[in-house]
Amino acid sequence: MYKAALITQLYLKRGEKMKYVIIGNSAAAVGAIEGIRKIDTDGEIIVISKEPYHVYSRPLISYLLYGKTDEERMKYRKDNFYEVMNCKTILGKEAVKIHPERKEIELDDHTAVHYDKLLIATGSQPFIPSVEGLESVKSKFTFMSLDDAKDLDNSLTPDSKVLIIGAGLIGLKCAEGIRKKVSSITVVDLSDRILSSILDKEGASVVQSHIEKENIEFILNTSVAKFLDHKAILSNGEEVDFDVLVLAVGVRPNINLIKEINGKVDRGIVVDEFCQTSLSDIYAAGDCCESHDITTDQNKVLALLPNAYMMGECAGTNMAGGEKIYDKAIPMNAIGFFGLHLITAGSYEGDVYTQNIPGQYKKLFVKDGLLKGYIIIGNIEKAGIYTSLIRDRVPLSDIDFELICRKPSLMAFSKIERKKKLGGVIHGY
């Protein structure tokens, strides 16, 4: 790390411009660009992306479908972002191979792009399960990119019966997006509950009841055994007729570029706390790589936009010769379905503190004297205070835990802590 910074400094001293290349054009890329430019205003930045669009926020595609936003407002940064940040963009082209010995990227049109520092921010792609008969389904879609959403939208009619495989974040957001445009929606999931990646059984049933009010049917504890063109035969024997199929069973991080050149990968690209891969001068950030989840002390892919941005910023800073560590990664989600909001963070192990009051379902998870995770459904105000307890690893003996269980408040901190937090010493990141 020190060596990399040294080399970068040498470059900058010699007046030569560093060449930063970023593969990917989403949150992690933007984080990197903004991180680099805070330190190096001269270096050349090139962004390469398969999608032809100005950087847009992928989580917004469901909001686009039900009209909460439009393509213009979906842009993650202003139109002049690349200009202001002095970045070159190569859009609509795919990076197919890295040649680390020459420090070159090979594109799908066989052109080469040289780099001094490289960031892999390739994100992930939808996982297509292999199910008998899937290829016979004509009207099938994944729900990941803007093009996916447009294609899906174009296929819908007010009479459409939609079958969504996967009751996770993506599947349910899709359901919310298209509900008003179609006749019926059925969601099938192998798990015993919806949103199994972020909710416990009790919380999941609260959300499920709410969504069911919109006439969305859930079939849980089962998977599709076989597809016919307009029918799914489930493993529990049920049959579901559909016009349109949406596959939302999961995502796979895009790790091939690194894997092919023997960089360390697991489920995702493996990086250190500086967001550097096992290969020199190559960094990775976002959904394509793994983060160290401090609540479980394990590495896992945290496919969340805030995480992607912060990893990108960390990588960019380090690429430009600064020094930034990203050591506060935790799972965190803020999401809403038909007016019911939920916020979750961390992991759900340890002692459970429950509070069920009208308008709010809340669970706090405590282990080793620290808050490890929480689930809040309904009134999510000030949830960020809980998040900060997890990220900052605040010993619960230092605060008024009883008050914190009742409601998230800064009053739970000691007077001295409050003076630091509110009185003029500002902690951000």
429 lies in the binding site for another protein (CB under 8 A):
yes
Decide if residue 2 touches another protein (CB under 8 A). no
Among 48, 152, 383, 404, binds another protein (CB under 8 A): 383
Give the residue from 246, 219, 247, 245 showing the smallest Cα distance to 231: 245
Cβ atoms of 123 and 76 within 8 Å: the answer is no
| Smallest gap from residue 246 Cβ to another protein (A) | 21
CB of 213 to another protein, least distance (A): 18
Q: Rounded to whole angstroms, how far apart are CA atoms 275 and 41?
A: 21
What is the rounded CA–CA span in Å between residue 84 and residue 239?
55
Which residues, 6+ apart, have CB-to-CB distance to 407 below 8 Å?
Answer: 382
Listed in order, strand segments (DSSP E) in 192-293 are 216-219, 224-228, 231-234, 239-241, 244-247, 251-253, 282-284, 290-293
Nearer to another protein, 146 or 310 (CB): 310
Part in contact with another protein (CB under 8 A); list of ranges 61-69, 132-140, 187-195, 277-285: 61-69
Q: Considering only CA atoms, which of 269, 72, 57 is closest in space to residue 144? A: 57
For every residue of 322-341, DSSP letters joined together read ----------EEEEEETTEE
Scanning 3-11, 136-144, 196-204, 309-317 for contacts with another protein by CB under 8 A, the matching segment is: 309-317
Q: Using CB under 8 A, which of the segments 6-14, 39-47, 232-240, 326-334 binds another protein?
A: 326-334
Question: What's the closest the beta carbon of residue 335 comes to another protein, in angstroms?
Answer: 7
Distance CA 149, CA 62 (A): 7
Q: Is the CB of 218 or the CB of 386 nearer to another protein?
A: 386
Which residues, 6 or more positions from 135, have their beta carbon under 8 angstroms from its beta carbon? none
Is 296 a binding residue for another protein by CB under 8 A? The answer is no
Q: Which is nearer to another protein, 230 or 341 (CB)?
A: 341
Query: Hey, is 23 helix, strand or coil?
Result: strand
Residue 115 makes contact with another protein by CB under 8 A:
no
Q: Confirm or reject binding of residue 388 to another protein (CB under 8 A).
A: yes
The residues binding another protein (CB under 8 A) are 27, 31, 57, 59-60, 63, 68-69, 73-77, 305-306, 309-310, 313, 332-336, 341, 343, 345, 380-385, 387-388, 392, 408-411, 415, 418, 421-424, 426-429
